[in-house]
Amino acid sequence: MTYCLGILVKQGLVLAADSRTNAGVDYISSYRKLFDFSLPGKRALILCSSGNLSVTQAVLHSLERDIAVGKGSNLHTLPTMYDVARYVGDCIRTLQALDRPWLEKDNIDFQCSFLLGGQIPGEAPQLFLIYSQGNCIQTTPETPFLQIGETKYGKPILDRTLTFDADLNAAAKSALLSIDSTMRSNLSVGPPINMVMYQADSFEICHRAQFQAGDRYLIKMRRHWEQALRRLRSHARYQLESSLFTPTDP
């Protein structure tokens, strides 16, 4: 399992992903889940992957091959972000059709999903979730983030801290907190964490970061967040007890 998320705000995009693919008792493996397909100065394209590793790697290889051989429709030639999302979805369907019978025979889960974020000239920045079936959905100002993988532990932070008008730096901090909270609660999500931040209309990924398990900033942020939650919990408990035992007029 893994956890990837994308956030779209007025100022741009944040995409982040952990790197864990297996967390057995005596076997832990890590693979990168965030990939940059941008053409600096011309278009920004970031993909995050989750699900069956062999299928997602096959999809990524196919996308790279289409670019390398100059196929008419590829990540660098399609005119809109929606067209790119549909193209990735078509690639997922094609490769799953090849492998599905053999994976199903051994009861192996072949599902996968992708996040696609970026910007093509003539459009605003956009963020899509591409399902294993090849169809996709897009963020809206009311729901400015999308998640794939182990989503439940990191969602409450995003629900409570994010709006479409949020500052891009604040969105990046919310993303990091969301992944860190998921790592705290689920062994199948783990470092290193890869993150990119994209400024709208720049058409270039200028901000990248990777956080290892012992990263000082990650530890400091985690400690500050946990202390703030404890203070808030103590204050809320006091307020609740005060109101609960306050005498009322007959």
Return the closest-CA partner of residue 59 out of 101, 110, 109: 110
Q: What is the pTM of this model?
A: 0.87
d(CA 210, CA 187): 19
- Residue spans of the domains in the chain: they are 3-213
Question: In the chain, what percentage of residues exceed pLDDT 70?
Answer: 88
Q: What is the mean pLDDT of residues 137-147?
A: 96
At residue 23, the pLDDT reads: 47
Give the model's confidence band at 126: pLDDT under 50 very low, under 70 low, under 90 confident, else very high. very high
More confident residue, 219 or 144: 144
- Tokens in use for 102? 């053999």
Q: 3-213: which CATH topology? A: Glutamine Phosphoribosylpyrophosphate, subunit 1, domain 1 (3.60.20)
**CB-count burial class (<10 Å; 0-12, 13-18, 19+) for 76:** middle
At residue 4, the pLDDT reads: 96
- Tokens in use for 170? 């604040």
More confident residue, 5 or 214: 5
**Residue 107 confidence (pLDDT) above 70:** yes
- Tokens in use for 220? 């400091």
d(CA 232, CA 71): 56
- Taking CA atoms, 47 is separated from 16, 29, 161, 165, 202, in Å, by 10, 20, 24, 23, 18
More confident residue, 81 or 222: 81
d(CA 7, CA 117): 9
Which residues partner with 210 through β-bridges? Answer: 194
**CB-count burial class (<10 Å; 0-12, 13-18, 19+) for 237:** exposed
Question: In the chain, what percentage of residues exceed pLDDT 90?
Answer: 60
Residues 161-209 pLDDT 10s: 899 999 999 999 999 999 988 888 887 788 899 999 999 999 999 899 9
d(CA 43, CA 108): 36
At residue 60, the pLDDT reads: 97
Size (the chain), residues: 250
- Tokens in use for 105? 């025979």
More confident residue, 242 or 216: 216
